[in-house]
Each structure stands twice: as C-alpha cells, then as structure tokens.
Amino acid sequence: MRISQLSDRAGLPVGTVKFYLRTGLLHHGFATSATQALYDDTHLERLRLVRALLEVGRLSHADIQRVLNALGQAGDEPLDAIETFGRAAAPLIDGIDEEDLAAARSVTAELGWQISPDSPHLPDLARCLAALHSVGVAPSRERVRTYAEAASHVARHDLQAVADSDERSRPVEAVMGATLYDNFFSSLHRLAVENQVSRQRSRVPAPRVSVPSA
Amino acid sequence: MRISQLSDRAGLPVGTVKFYLRTGLLHHGFATSATQALYDDTHLERLRLVRALLEVGRLSHADIQRVLNALGQAGDEPLDAIETFGRAAAPLIDGIDEEDLAAARSVTAELGWQISPDSPHLPDLARCLAALHSVGVAPSRERVRTYAEAASHVARHDLQAVADSDERSRPVEAVMGATLYDNFFSSLHRLAVENQVSRQRSRVPAPRVSVPSA
C-alpha cells in the first residue's frame, strides 16, 4: 500500500508516518521510485505498536526506540523475551542516591524476591519510595506487602500469557506486559477505588441502638 | 525563609521555584519589599508535592494544577477526599469512541463493580483496551479478572490508609493514593516479574526420565 493508505489504516497523519520513517521508529518501505515506496502489514503493525506505546503507554520517543530495538534482539524463548523487554522498558533514571537504592534493595530483600543488585528496576522503586517519603506518606510495611502481593499476582499471569502465546504474537505480548499492562492496571485501580467508595457510600447506615437506661 | 533557602531545601533551582510562583503551582510568600518575600513550611511542603507529582508521577503541569486545586476543595471526610483527588487525577481524554467506552463499561459490569456510567476513569480504561486490541493482545477474560483482583486488593488498602490518616496528612495521603501509588505498583510489578523469571531460571531442570522400552 501507499503511504496515504498506511496513514489512513493506522489512524495517523501522513506527516507523522514520515516523521517515524525519518527517526527510525518505522522501517522503510519498498522503494518504487525516488519519492515513492510501498508498505505492507508489517508497517501497519509497527505503527499501531508505536501509537499504543506513545499515546497510551506515554513512553517517550527514546523509550520506544529502546523497546523497538529490543524487538530485533529478543530470543524466542518466553523468559528471554520477558526479560529483554522488561529491561528495555525500565525507565532510565540517573543520579539516584545510594541510600535510596539501598532502601529499595532492602524492600525487595524483605519480600524474599530474587532481584539482581543492579536490576534496572531498582532505581525506579528507590525514586518512588523517596518521593513518598519526602511528602510524608511513606508506605507502611503492610502496605508494601499488599502492593507486592498484587504485583506478584499479575506478574504470574503476565509470564503465563507470554508462555502461552504463539511465536508470532510473543514479542508483542512481552512488550505489552512490560508497558501497557501497567496502564491497564492503573485504570482498573482507579475504578476499583471508585467501586469501593461507592459501595461504602451506599451502605445503609446501621440502625441506632438505643442503650437501655440502667 | 528566603527564596534561596526554600530552593535549597526543596532541591529545586530558584528559577524553577519562581516559575511555580508565576504559574500558580506555588502560593505566594509574605512580601517584605517589592522584590523580596518570606516563605514557610507550607511552601516547602507544596514544592515537595509538586516535585513528586512531576518527577515521579510524571503528571503534566495542567494535571498537577487540577490536583492542587482539588486540595483546596476536598472535604475532610475520607471518602470525599479519595473521590475528589481520584477525579482530579483522572487523565483527561477526549474523543473516545462510543464503542470503546461501551466495551469498558461492560468490563466493569462483568466484574460487578459499582461504576458511574460517566465515570472519568472509564475513558482511560476504554483507550487502554482499544490499544491492546489494536496490537492484537487484548486481555483474556481471565487476565481482566486477575488484574481486577489485584486492583481491588490495593484499593482496599488505599481506602484504609486514608481513613487511618490524621486530618493533616489526609489530603496528601489521598493525593498520593490517586497518583504516585500507581508508580509504586509499576515498579513493584516489574520487580515481581524479574523475581519470577529469576526463580524459573534457577530451577534445577527436572531429571530426564528414560522411558523403559516395552
């Protein structure tokens, strides 16, 4: 298909598609002249992936580039794919305080998790804990445990989904598990809060029990 | 304290503090002359909150403005505070397809959640589901349930944390529950995946059982 059809089907302006071609987020088409090229379904799939990561995952251009680079490197083996995209999607964070990192490591140690001391995911946890601490609402040990249980619960399912996927959809499944499924969780989290607030509100107030006078 | 001390203690350049003053993210200090003002702990607390929402929560300037406006409006009652900040922190999403919205509503209905049909959290879920669908890895019914269980698990704790907080820290607790605790979950989620990959890898391979020939 021509670039105009590709742009139509991906729901993106031609200018945006050209921008992705220039910056390498989209691979080049099959050139039919000096100014024209043809594109196929691999281009459409790639554009949909970029769009999802950008608009919903709110990943930066550089983050998407790292994730897409990993697409060419990840092995077929499910655990490899999960690890590769997990690392590629880890936010790049510089200048984390060593003390904050140590605090993050002790959180995962207390949970009994097998985490590499130089895991790319630790700086993110460290920064988050430091921010919560700075505004005076650091999580209690019990809250850490509650969140960790929930995270383990969905992580088990993420691994299973990648293992169960066929070879063709496996990379996308692994990429989404490392990116958009966090947004999926956030939106469900907000709705779960709304649900529970609404349930607590609609509870009929307990009838007043009059204390019999002695 | 002077603006230079405030900037030091908040870990932000003076120029940034001035920018927040100009744009209203920070309330004005007590003017001591035409060009000087004094600031107190309320300014420091506000700066730490803005910084956490901006740097870790990755909220936009406009989103932070909405959350801060809500700080002045939320009631003291825990459910009010949770609801107000939840609404303020909901991403503003325009132009969601009516069909996508209906799909999101049917997901929450199937979960048995009490969600207002015009909940500000539904467009986010709708967009996320549409994006996952567009790249060919829409969640199975079982995966939706797994994520919803995890979301409910942490939501229960979020409500409890706000209810248990004292009047002074309650608004910040509610703001963080609606914003940074999602980042906290994401970082734990990635670490939980790393933990499970690492556990599966370190498992001693099952010994080969030689099938006895008949």
User: For position B214, what pLDDT does the model report?
Assistant: 41
Running DSSP on this structure, what letter comes out for residue A210? P
Contact B176, A132 (CB under 8 A): yes
Q: Give DSSP secondary structure letters for A150-163.
A: HHHHHHHHHHHHHH
Residue A211 banded pLDDT, cuts 50, 70, 90 = low
- Segment A3-23 shows an average pLDDT of 93
Contact B131, A49 (CB under 8 A): no
Contact A43, A3 (CB under 8 A): no
* For residue A213, pLDDT beyond 70: no
A136 touches B at CB < 8 Å? yes
Low-confidence ranges of chain B (pLDDT < 70): 204-214
Q: Give DSSP secondary structure letters for A19-83.
A: HHHHHTSS---EESSSS-EE--HHHHHHHHHHHIIIIIS---HHHHHHHHHHHTT--SSHHHHHH
Contact A124, A91 (CB under 8 A): yes
User: For position A35, what pLDDT does the model report?
Assistant: 86
Residue from A58, A71, A111, A128 whose CB has the most chain B CBs within 10 Å, to mutate = A128
Instruction: Give the nearest partner residue to B90 out of A136, A190, A192, using CB atoms.
Output: A190
Going from the C-alpha of B176 to that of each of A137, A176, B125, B130, B173, the distances in angstroms are: 8, 26, 20, 27, 5
Contact B131, A180 (CB under 8 A): yes
> pLDDT per residue over A118-144, tens digit each?
999 999 999 999 999 999 899 999 999
Contact A107, A197 (CB under 8 A): no
User: For position A214, what pLDDT does the model report?
Assistant: 41
User: For position A48, what pLDDT does the model report?
Assistant: 92
pTM across the whole model: 0.88
Judge: A128–B56 Cβ closer than 8 Å, yes or no: yes
Q: Considering only residues B73 and A37, tell me which one the structure prediction assigns the higher pLDDT.
A: A37
* For residue A210, pLDDT beyond 80: no
User: For position B73, what pLDDT does the model report?
Assistant: 77
Q: Which residues of chain B from 7 to 36 reach within 8 Å of chain A, CB to CB? A: none
Residue A91 banded pLDDT, cuts 50, 70, 90 = confident
Burial of A141 (0-12, 13-18, 19+ CB in 10 A): exposed
Residue of B nearest to A89 (CA): B190
Residue of A nearest to B90 (CA): A190
Q: Chain B residues with CB inside 8 Å of A158's CB?
A: 193
> pLDDT per residue over A136-193, tens digit each?
899 999 999 999 999 999 999 999 999 998 888 888 888 888 889 999 999 999 999 9
User: For position A110, what pLDDT does the model report?
Assistant: 96
* Average model confidence (pLDDT) across chain A: 89
Place of tokens 């490392």: A178
* For residue A207, pLDDT beyond 60: no
User: For position B1, what pLDDT does the model report?
Assistant: 92
User: For position B181, what pLDDT does the model report?
Assistant: 93
Place of tokens 């140590």: A102
Residue from A79, A84, A87, A184 whose CB has the most chain B CBs within 10 Å, to mutate = A184
